[in-house]
Structures are given as structure tokens and as C-alpha cells.
A and B are shown apart, each in its own frame.
Chain A
Amino acid sequence: MSAMPKENSAALSLRDVQFRWQAGQAACLDIESFSISKGESVFLYGPSGSGKSTLLSLAGGIITPQRGQVTVLGSDLGCLSGAARDRFRVDHAGFIFQQFNLIPYLSMLENVLLPCRLSQRRQQRASAAHGSPREAAIALLNTLGLDADLYQRHVTGLSIGQQQRVAAARALIGQPELIIADEPTSALDADRQKDFIALILQQCASHGSSLLFVSHDHRLASQFSRELDLQKINRVEQH
């Protein structure tokens, strides 16, 4: 029942997981076994509608499967209460979405600090590494190539590329064990896609975080330690 992760276990593992969005509908995800080891970066490939986003929602504990077990860092998410899952998610996972990643009414710095505001664990880890969450945020933004004069700017004035890097900083701050990225590069042009992925991989490696990266664009797979076709592990027939 403990939300504390156990040592020497997989970062994420799914076992006999079946999920349907609505009762009575056909299942959209049916996975016998899927896991990511600690520190591993996995590129999950699949066309639109193959259940990529659903898998990520399951991994984040936002939804729970009708059958099977989702384990993150040794904790069975199905055994946690809704509130405990919410806390577990922000404590141990960072998310990067496709686009519109940022909260429009917060400054760049406040957007990055959001997980630290909501999780004591992330706040403590950020402080331990850099002295304070603010210092940690500035360090991350610097590493990701965002200038200090942008920090107090409204995020709506940023370019897409800048926005995605702010989102990456928000996912990485406080060194969560699992980074979940949902097509974060699809709004970027080809050169920037490569740079962005390289940045994320580098940050994950230096923090020891595992990365689950999904995309429909197979060309991006080369930089990851493992690639996987979702259609091969999802037993639901896609039309």
C-alpha cells in the first residue's frame, strides 16, 4: 500500500492490462506485458488511434484499467486511492504534451515551478540539487537554452519551440523518476525535433530518469535506447 517506490524494480510495468473508455464499448487497449527499466528511454511508435495517449494516461495513473495491473516504481497504482494517485503522479512523473503545454496565465518561471508548488517531494529534490526550486528552474531553463530575460514574460508570447522547452523544464524539475512525453515534437520543424529530443535524453540521463516517448513519426526512433511498435504489443485490432 505504500506509495514509496521500492528499490531495483522497473520504472513502469503493465501486466494483462485491458482498458475501455466506456462500459460496453470495445476495449481500446489490451497489453499482456510491457515494462520500462530504470534509466531506460523507450520510443513507443504507433499511428493515430492506436492507443498511445490511453497508454500514457494509464501510466500516469489518470485512468485505471478495468483489468490488469499498472505498476510505477514498484507501486501498484490500482491499489492507491484517487487522491493518492494524484499525489503519486506529481511526486514521481513529469509530463510533456504535444502542444499548448503551458498555463497561459502563469509566467514562464511559474509554469516550471508548478510541480514544486504541488509536490513537497519535487520541491525538496529541486532544493537539494540547486538550493531552491527557483534556482533549479533557472538552471533547467538555462540548460534548455532559454534566456533569463524571458523568465517573467507571459508564456503566450513564446514561440512553439520555446514553449516545448519550458514544458520539458516543468517535467524535469525535481527529478521525477519517470518522464512521459506525448508527441512533444510534432509541432516543431525537423531540425528542432532532433535538438529537442537530444536535450530531453541528455537531461533524463543526467537525472537517471526513465523516459517513455510516444510518437507516430518513426524517424525519431534512432536516438532512444529501445523502440517499440505499440501495435505489436496491443492485442486490440485497430481499424
Chain B
Amino acid sequence: MFSQLTSQLFSQLSYFLRLAGKSAWNRRLTLGLMLFVISLSVCLLLAVERLRNDARESFSHAVSGTDLVVGARTSPVQLMLYAVFRIGAATNNIAWQSYQDLLQDPAVAWAVPLSLGDSHRGFAVVGTTPDYFSRFRYGDAQGLQLRAGQAFGEGADHLFAAVIGADVADNLGYQVGSKITLSHGTGDAALAEHADKPFKVVGVLARTGTPVDSSVHISLQSMQAIHLDWQGGAPVPGFSIAAEHARKFDLQPKEITAVLVGLHKRSMVFRLQRQINTKDGEALLAVLPGVALDQLWQVISIVERVLLAMSSLLVVLGSAGLLAVMLASLNERRRELAILRSAGVGPGHLFLMLMAESLGLTIAGAISGLLLLDVLTLAGKDWVQTHYGILIQSALINATEIPLLGMVVLMGMLASLVPACLAYRNSLADGLTPRL
């Protein structure tokens, strides 16, 4: 008896679902448009969310494996900005001797000096040592790879050799062997050209998705050489040293901008940081890249919050659209609901039918939005990487997106409660004849 009752209930339920399906199919144009709106808003929501995460990821992947970044005393955020992101300029340089002192410290495994301040057509020029190419790490401790050519070596033979990042090569069409001239100063408004001492591209780095891609790397000696005949940021009038003669000068730099430091033991990092920050003599600042990156992200997290607010609004918009469509269709359907009512369908069942419809619509919208995004991601991944330097992860679905999609479905359900309740109420209040 009980099993007969359950099987009867089950067959009735499946009949209702089939009715709901047929009814929805009957209104497929309106519902199809609604599905389109929901998928688009889900697609946008997830896209914003993914970009947000990937931007943060790319950001925090800019440097890794470096235990300390050392520069002239300033704010940690500013030091990170110029030393790692090549944004803005250093307020002060640090003496070559300070770098030597760091190298002598027993805790230090390696130290790579950076000398900044010049540019090439908007791309930052980094004076450094050949160690840079073996020591620098980004992302999950990935090392730099050369796409073409080779890195420059130590010594006077490697003067005027440049290793360029992938963006520099791709955007300016350079390859190994191209000749480039550097400008004094940074940005597009670089003032004077080092036209008398052209550089030759000897290597092109593989893409990293970090600021390295938009850097031109030269040796510290080259950096020194192009400034031999300069004083106070300008060429000395009537005085010029030809490129071939530059080799004869002492090209030992007097000062550098920042140092990337790796330690033997990570546990020493706080001791060394304190030691550097409180050292007598030159005012130095040592920062932990991870901590400083977090601080820097805090600064720009307002953008993150705006993006989050925007994505939330998209969901609200989608739900409001769903509500509007369901309400509009409810009026068209009053006859249909009254007929079902006369055939013994209870108001509770009508409620369930309407809920099932919008739930199905929202779930279908969420899934198709996700798929749409996945297709777009696959298609547009390379373009975004080249133009915005953001590496998009192409997972089918991320764990963080499941609660977001759950939220979308919940919002859809909340929105559809209104028409479902109205249908329930109308079916009780109307009797058999809808009173329009």
C-alpha cells in the first residue's frame, strides 16, 4: 500500500516536471532570451572574478626565491615598485660598497645588483650582472629561460650587449642582432638619447608574465659606460667618449639602485633584515618581497573591491531580469494555471512548478555561462597575455567558483519565490476564473 502510494506520488511528480518542461518549451523564445541574459551575467561575473584572481596571481608571481630586496631607505612599497615592477624612480641610490658588504655577509648566498633609471622607448633598462639570469626566480620558483640568443657575460668584451624581455621583442619587433639606443630617464618623456653608444640585442628572454618581459637588461659596466661623458643627468657639452674608447676606462660602478638577496637559510631573513635596517652608515632598507607585495596589493585592492562590487551587481541584475520575465509570463499563464487547478493540481504544486522552472533556468544559465567563459578563455588567452600581461588560468571550473555559482542559483531562486508565491496566492484568490 505504502509503496503503491509512493510510486503514484513519483509518477505524479514526474508528470508535473514534464508539464513544466513542456510549458517552458512553449515559451522558449522568452525563456531563451532570459537564459542568454543569465549566462552572460554569469560569464561576466566569473570573468571578472578570474581576472581578479589571475591579476593578483600574476602580481604575486612577479618575484620569488628572493629573500630580501635592499635599496635606499624609503617606503617598502616604493622600493618594491621600482625594484621589482620598474614603476617610478628610486629616490636615492646605494653605494657599491654597501653591495660589497652584503656579499661578504656569511648569511648571504647570492646578491644581484640592479641599476635603474634609463629606458628604451618606454621599456625600463636594468643594469645588472650575469648572475641575474641564473638567480632571478618568478612564479613557483621558475627561472628565466632564453627564447633566442644568449645572456651577456662578465667583462669588457660584453659591453653594449642587451638581453630583452619577451614584450620588448614582440612589441618592437626586435630579434637577436637588432641595434637599439637607450634613453636617459624613464617613460616616454625620456630626455636625452645615448645615441653615440648603440646596443646590440644578444638574447631574448622567454615570456614570464612578470615585469621582466618589459625590461631591457644590460651589464652594470655598460650602464657605467654610457654615462661616462655625462654629468648631472646631461651630456657634458663639448666632451664625448666614443664607444670603442669606453672600454679603456674604469667601468666599476660607484652606485647601484637595489639589490636582490638570496640567503643560505631562510630562517636568517629577519635577523639580516634587522641588521640592514639598523646599520650605521648608509641608510638602507631591506624588505621581504612577500610582505611588501601584500602591502602593495592592499594599496590597489580598492580596484579589487570595485570589481567585486561590479560582479555582485551583475548577479543582482540577472536575478532582476529573471524576476521581470517570470512576473510577465505569470499573467499570460493565469489561464493555464486555472485549468491545472480545475484538474486537481494544488496551489503548492503550482508553486513547485514555477520554482522548478526558474531553478532549471538559473542552473542552465549558470552552466552555460561557465562554458561560454571557458570557450572564450581558450580562444582569448594568448591575446590577454600579450596585451595585458595577465596569464589566465584555463581551468574548466575553479573551486572558488562553485560557491559563486551557488550564490547565482540562490539569487535566482530568491527572485523566483516572488512569482511562485503570487501564483500560489492567485490560484487561491481567483477561484476558477482568473480575475484580470
A89 to B342, alpha carbons, bound, how many Å?
A: 7
Verify A83–B346 contact, CB threshold 8 A.
Answer: yes
B12 contacts A by Cβ under 8 Å: yes
A128 contacts B by Cβ under 8 Å: no
Verify A87–B344 contact, CB threshold 8 A.
Answer: yes
What is the minimal beta-carbon distance from A125 to any residue of chain B, in angstroms?
Answer: 14
Verify A91–B344 contact, CB threshold 8 A.
Answer: yes
Digit string of A105-119 for contact with B (CB within 8 Å is 1, else 0)? 110000000110111
Contact flag A60-B339 (CB < 8 Å), given A90-B344, A105-B22, A117-B15? no
Verify A118–B432 contact, CB threshold 8 A.
Answer: no
CB contacts (< 8 Å) of A100 on chain B: these are: 335
Chain B binding surface SS class: helix
Contact flag A118-B15 (CB < 8 Å), given A82-B347, A105-B23? yes
A146 to B25, alpha carbons, bound, how many Å?
A: 26
B242 contacts A by Cβ under 8 Å: no
B26 contacts A by Cβ under 8 Å: yes
Q: Closest chain A residue to B15 by CB distance?
A: A117
Digit string of B8-45 for contact with A (CB within 8 Å is 1, else 0)? 10001001000000110110000000000000000000
B243 contacts A by Cβ under 8 Å: no
What is the minimal beta-carbon distance from A180 to any residue of chain B, in angstroms?
Answer: 8
Q: Which of B335, B339, B345, B433 is in CB contact (< 8 Å) with A86?
A: B345
B431 contacts A by Cβ under 8 Å: yes
A193 contacts B by Cβ under 8 Å: no
What is the minimal beta-carbon distance from A153 to any residue of chain B, in angstroms?
Answer: 15
What is the minimal beta-carbon distance from B427 to any residue of chain A, in angstroms?
Answer: 8
Verify A83–B348 contact, CB threshold 8 A.
Answer: yes
B156 contacts A by Cβ under 8 Å: no
A60 to B428, alpha carbons, bound, how many Å?
A: 12
B341 contacts A by Cβ under 8 Å: yes
CB contacts (< 8 Å) of A119 on chain B: these are: 344
A60 to B36, alpha carbons, bound, how many Å?
A: 41
Verify A97–B346 contact, CB threshold 8 A.
Answer: no
What is the minimal beta-carbon distance from B397 to any residue of chain A, in angstroms?
Answer: 34
Verify B432–A182 contact, CB threshold 8 A.
Answer: yes
Verify A101–B344 contact, CB threshold 8 A.
Answer: no
CB contacts (< 8 Å) of B343 on chain A: these are: 90, 95, 114-115, 118, 170
Interface residues on A, range: 20 to 34
Verify B336–A118 contact, CB threshold 8 A.
Answer: no
Verify B432–A56 contact, CB threshold 8 A.
Answer: yes
Q: Closest chain A residue to B25 by CB distance?
A: A105
CB contacts (< 8 Å) of A98 on chain B: these are: 433
Verify B344–A86 contact, CB threshold 8 A.
Answer: yes
Interface residues of B in 347-366 (CB under 8 A from A): 347-348
Verify A86–B346 contact, CB threshold 8 A.
Answer: yes
A114 to B342, alpha carbons, bound, how many Å?
A: 10
What is the minimal beta-carbon distance from B19 to any residue of chain A, in angstroms?
Answer: 8
A83 to B340, alpha carbons, bound, how many Å?
A: 14
A95 to B15, alpha carbons, bound, how many Å?
A: 21
CB contacts (< 8 Å) of B341 on chain A: these are: 62
CB contacts (< 8 Å) of A182 on chain B: these are: 432-433
Verify A104–B431 contact, CB threshold 8 A.
Answer: no
Verify A82–B346 contact, CB threshold 8 A.
Answer: yes
What is the minimal beta-carbon distance from B360 to any residue of chain A, in angstroms?
Answer: 15
A57 contacts B by Cβ under 8 Å: yes
A201 contacts B by Cβ under 8 Å: no
What is the minimal beta-carbon distance from B137 to any residue of chain A, in angstroms?
Answer: 63
Interface residues of A in 48-99 (CB under 8 A from B): 53-54, 56-57, 60, 62-63, 82-83, 86-87, 89-91, 95, 97-98
B429 contacts A by Cβ under 8 Å: yes
Verify A21–B429 contact, CB threshold 8 A.
Answer: yes
What is the minimal beta-carbon distance from A96 to any residue of chain B, in angstroms?
Answer: 9
Interface residues of B in 205-237 (CB under 8 A from A): none
Q: Which of B15, B22, B431 is in CB contact (< 8 Å) with A62?
A: B431
Verify A104–B344 contact, CB threshold 8 A.
Answer: no
What is the minimal beta-carbon distance from B366 to any residue of chain A, in angstroms?
Answer: 25
A33 contacts B by Cβ under 8 Å: no
Verify B25–A57 contact, CB threshold 8 A.
Answer: no
A83 to B341, alpha carbons, bound, how many Å?
A: 11
- List, sorted by A's number, 18 A–B pairs whose CB atoms are closer than 8 Å: A57-B431, A62-B341, A62-B342, A63-B428, A63-B431, A90-B344, A95-B432, A97-B339, A97-B432, A103-B23, A104-B26, A105-B25, A115-B343, A117-B12, A117-B15, A118-B343, A119-B344, A182-B432
Given A54-B431, A57-B431, A90-B343, 6 more contacts at CB 8 Å? A21-B429, A86-B345, A87-B344, A103-B23, A104-B336, A115-B344
